[in-house]
Amino acid sequence: MDPQLIAVVAVILAAMAFDYTNGFHDAANAIATSVSTRALTPRVALAMAAVGNFVGAHLGTEVAKTVGDDLVSLPVGVPSLGVVFAGVLGAITWNLITWYFGLPSSSSHALFGGLVGATLLASFGGVQWGNIVTKVLVPMVVSPIVGLILGFIMMVAIMWIFRRGHPGKLNRGFRLAQTFSAAAMSVGHGMQDAAKTMGIVVLALYTGGYQSSATHIPEWVYWASATMLALGTYAGGWRIIRTLGRKIIDLGPAEGFAAETVASTVLFFNAQVLHAPISTTHTITSAIMGVGATKRLSAVRWNVAGNIVIAWITTFPAAALIACLIYVVVRPLF
């Protein structure tokens, strides 16, 4: 069998494995608040999230093009496929480590870090640092800040508008509203995270010489990426769901609705307007913190939040380092 074909297939399978881990690792992004407020049962929430991810995948074309063409430049050939393979395995490894410890780190930044680390070590490719800064690092800093501020503002607005409402009726109303905000969050997650896997598959097809465009996405890539993400999401990531849904703050239906609405809005804006591949994890976690801070600052368990922030900061370099180690091992195979 053609060695180049084998290499392309290996990278695509690795990308699908990453997509699956992304699903169960980041399932909490879409459903943790709805489950913790009992707006949805866990399995119903997971099923809805899986469907939302599937739909969102078909709306994330521009994000996929950014991942596939704007972050690293690799020549066509089997050695380049070894770089992509190592980068994806580095991201998978970091996803599993943070999942084990229940830390909602960013699968996106793990993937970007893995690609950059392996590319730098290989030395025959190039990192597009301008795009890394503007499309990865700046959004990595800005999106949590925006989520935090908007979460706070949204919750203050809800508290003022419904200040004379009956608590029981309001809770029932916001539990119903969370069905829609959680669905929007799921679609936003699909637009961002399924799209990143699609970008990796396109990069593999291009560097493997199986298509001449670094941005064209075959229809089967949409379906494969969306399906694996949906399956992973339905498998559930209960360790991280518990962290987001219960350990940061005690969420009520109104807080859950506010956090999901803010996070999904930020995800939609970045995917459809800025075409920036941001972290769904950073966005929803910061929105939850912003919402919780409206009660009182002590309502947010800042020690848990601090551990999450440390995971955010270390994800990119840790995944890069792991990818470098993996590349040293797999380089002879490519």
Start-to-end CA distance of the chain, whole Å, equals 14
The total number of structural domains that make up the chain: 1
Neighbours of 110 (CB within 10 A): 32
Are residues 151 and 265 in contact, defined by beta-carbon separation less than 8 angstroms?
A: no
CA–CA dist 178, 129 (Å, integer): 39
Query: What pLDDT, on a 0 to 100 scale, did the predictor assign at position 161?
Result: 92
pLDDT tens-digit map of 57-104: 888 788 888 787 778 888 888 888 999 999 999 999 998 898 888 776
pLDDT tens-digit map of 108-154: 889 999 999 999 999 877 888 888 888 888 888 888 889 989 999 99
246 has pLDDT over 60: no
Q: For the chain, what percent of residues have pLDDT higher than 70?
A: 89
3-state secondary structure 66-134: HHHHCCEECCCCHHHHHHHHHHHHHHHHHHHHHHHCCCCCCHHHHHHHHHHHHHHHHCCCEECHHHHHH
Boundaries of domain holding 321: 3-333
Amino acid in position 178: Q
